[in-house]
Structure 1
Amino acid sequence: MKITSGTWLILGLLALWEASARLGWVESPNWPALSQVLAALAADMATGELPARIGGSLWRMAAGLAAGGLAGVLTGLAFALIPLTARLFGLVVELLRPIPVPAVIPPLVLFLGLDDPMKITVVALTVFFPVLTNTLQGVQAVEPDSIAMGRTFGIGPLRRAAFIILPAALPAILAGFRVALALALVVTVVAEMIAGEQGIGSYLVLMQFAGRAPEMYGVILLLAALGYTLNRGFVALERRLIRWWYAQARQAA
C-alpha cells in the first residue's frame, strides 16, 4: 500500500507532537505526549463508556441528518418546481439561514428541553440549508429537453419529479449531503457540549473541567478519525449511487 504525501505529513506532525512533549519543547501540564493520549484513549474505550457515548452521538447525528436532509430535498424540489412556494417561503429561509447554531440552541432548550429532540432538531436545521441549496442548483441544472420529453410521453408532474428531475439532480443533492454530513457531526458535538450530559461532546467538556488533558486530546483525535471515516464511507456510497455520473465524467475527461 502506497503512503501518500498527506499521510507522511500527518505522521510527521504526530511525531513532532510526541517529541515536543517528551523533550520539553512545550512546558505545560496540559500538553501530554501523544503516547499518553493514545494510552488514555485506549483505556477509555476499554471501559465501554466512550463507545456508548459515541454510539449515542452518531444516532443523534444520523436522525438529524435524515430529517434535515429529507426536508431540504423536498423543499428544494418545491421551490424549483412550484414558483409560488419560493415566493411565499423564500424570504423566511433566507432570514433563518445566517443565524449561528449556538444562537438557536437556547430557545430550543426552552421549547424542547435538554434531551435528544433538541439536539436532533439543531442538527436537522443545520443540515437543511446546504441540502436545500444544492437541490435547487441540481434541479435548475436539469436539461429542459429531458423534462419536455417527459411531458411529450404524458408523464405527470409528480412522476416527472420522481423519475426524471430527481435522478438528474442526484449528484448535486449528494454533494449537499456530503457537506451536511461534516456539519452534522460538528453541530452534534457542539449541542452536546452546551446542553445535556450525554454524548461525546459532554464527555469532552467533562474531561476539560476535570483537568484530564490526555483524555480530552484523545477524544479530539477520535472525532478527527470519526469524521474522516464517515466522509470516506459516504464517498464510497456516493460512487455506487451515481456510478453513471462518474462514468460520464471519465468519458468527458
Structure 2
Amino acid sequence: MRPSSGLWLVLALMALWEVSARLHWVDSPNWPPLSTVVVALFHDIASGELPPLIGGTLWRMGAGLAAGSIAGVVVGLAFCLAPVTRLLLGPAVELLRPIPVPAIIPPLVLFLGLDDPMKITVVALTAFFPVLTNTMQGVAAVEAEAVQMGRTFGVGPLRRAAFIVLPATAPYALAGVRVALGLSLVVAVVAEMIAGEAGIGHYLVMMQFAGRAPEMYATIILLAVLGYALNRGFVAMERRAIHWWFALGRQADG
C-alpha cells in the first residue's frame, strides 16, 4: 500500500522537528529532538511507568463513554417516541449542553471527590450529547412506512422501538458514538489534569512541572497515537456491526 499524502506530511513534520532541534532553529531547552522524545517514550513504556497510567485512563474513558452512549440512545428514543419526555427533560438538556467541560469539573469534585466517579461522570456527560443528537436524527430518518407496517401487523410500541426504530437508528447512533469516542479521551485526560491524582493526564502535568520536556512530548505523542488507534478500531467494529449499511453504499471516513 502506497503511503498517502497525509502520511508524507506527518513524516515531513517529524523530520522538521528533528532538524529544527538539532540545528538550534528553536533555541530552547524545552524543544528536544524528536529522537530524544522517542527514546523517552520507549523507556517509560519499558520501565512499566506508562502502561498502568494509560490503562487507568482508558478504563475511565470507556466506562464514561459506555454510560453516556447508552443514556444518549435511550433519551433520544424517548424524546422522539414519547414527546412528553422531551417536554419534561428537554429544557434541562439544553441548559447543560453549552456548559464547557472544565466548568463542570469543580462542582462534581465537591459532590463526587477526586476519584474515578467524578472523571467517569464528566466523560459520560460529554459522550451523552453527540449520541443523543445523532439518535434523534436517526429516528427522524426512519421510514414512516416501516413504522406503519408494524402498527398494521399489531406490533406494540415497545417492540416497534426495539425491532424497527432502533435498528434503523443504529448507524446514526454509532456515528454519534464515534464522535463521542474522541471527545471522551480528551475529556478524560483534561479531568485528570485538572483534578487528578492518577492517569496519563496527571502524569503529563507532572512532567511539565518537573521540566522534563522529552517525557512531556512523549506523552502527547502517545495520546495522539492512541486516539488514532481507537478511531481506526471503532471504524472496523462499526463496519462489522452495521455491514448492511455500508453494503448499501454508505461511507465512513477513516
TM above 0.5: yes
1:175 matched residue in structure 2: 175
How far did residue 250 of structure 1 move? 5.9
Report the TM-score, using the length of structure 2 for normalisation: 0.98
> Is the counterpart of residue 153 in structure 1 residue 153 in structure 2?
yes
**Residues 70-89 of structure 1: CA distance to partner in whole angstroms, max 9, x if unpaired?**
00000000000001111111
Q: In structure 2, what is the Cα distance between the partners aligned to 1:155 and 1:62? A: 35
**Residues 202-252 of structure 1: CA distance to partner in whole angstroms, max 9, x if unpaired?**
00000000000000000000000000000000000110111111111269x
How far did residue 47 of structure 1 move? 1.2
> Is the counterpart of residue 245 in structure 1 residue 245 in structure 2?
yes
**Structure 1 vs Structure 2 CA RMSD:** 1.0
Correspondences of 1:75-114 after superposition (within 5 Å): 75-114=75-114
1:24 matched residue in structure 2: 24
1:166 matched residue in structure 2: 166
2:59 matched residue in structure 1: 59
Q: In structure 1, what is the Cα distance between the partners aligned to 2:88 and 2:116? A: 31
Give the 3 Å change call, closer, same or farther, for CA 21–240 of structure 1 in structure 2. same
Identity of aligned residues (%): 73
Give the 3 Å change call, closer, same or farther, for CA 118–250 of structure 1 in structure 2. closer
1:73 matched residue in structure 2: 73
1:222 matched residue in structure 2: 222
1:138 matched residue in structure 2: 138
SS in 1 for 2:248: helix
- Gaps of at least 5 residues in structure 1 are none
How far did residue 200 of structure 1 move? 0.3
How far did residue 44 of structure 1 move? 0.5
Q: In structure 1, what is the Cα distance between the partners aligned to 2:240 and 2:37? A: 37
Q: In structure 1, what is the Cα distance between the partners aligned to 2:157 and 2:33? A: 61
SS in 1 for 2:197: coil
Q: In structure 2, what is the Cα distance between the partners aligned to 1:49 and 1:17? A: 26
2:198 matched residue in structure 1: 198
> Is the counterpart of residue 15 in structure 1 residue 15 in structure 2?
yes
The one-letter code of the counterpart of 2:184 is A
The one-letter code of the counterpart of 1:206 is M
Q: In structure 1, what is the Cα distance between the partners aligned to 2:55 and 2:158? A: 38
1:38 matched residue in structure 2: 38
> Is the counterpart of residue 210 in structure 1 residue 210 in structure 2?
yes
1:189 matched residue in structure 2: 189
Q: In structure 2, what is the Cα distance between the partners aligned to 1:74 and 1:85? A: 11
> Is the counterpart of residue 115 in structure 1 residue 115 in structure 2?
yes
How far did residue 48 of structure 1 move? 0.7
Q: In structure 2, what is the Cα distance between the partners aligned to 1:40 and 1:197? A: 22
The one-letter code of the counterpart of 1:93 is V
The one-letter code of the counterpart of 1:54 is I
The one-letter code of the counterpart of 2:33 is A
> Is the counterpart of residue 2 in structure 1 residue 7 in structure 2?
no
- Gaps of at least 5 residues in structure 2 are none
Q: In structure 1, what is the Cα distance between the partners aligned to 2:47 and 2:115? A: 24
The one-letter code of the counterpart of 1:48 is G
Q: How many aligned residue pairs are there?
A: 251
How far did residue 61 of structure 1 move? 0.2
Q: In structure 1, what is the Cα distance between the partners aligned to 2:195 and 2:46? A: 26
**Residues 65-112 of structure 1: CA distance to partner in whole angstroms, max 9, x if unpaired?**
000100000000000000111111111100100000000000000000
Q: In structure 2, what is the Cα distance between the partners aligned to 1:40 and 1:48? A: 12
Deviating above 6 A after TM superposition, structure 1's stretches of 4 or more consecutive aligned residues are none
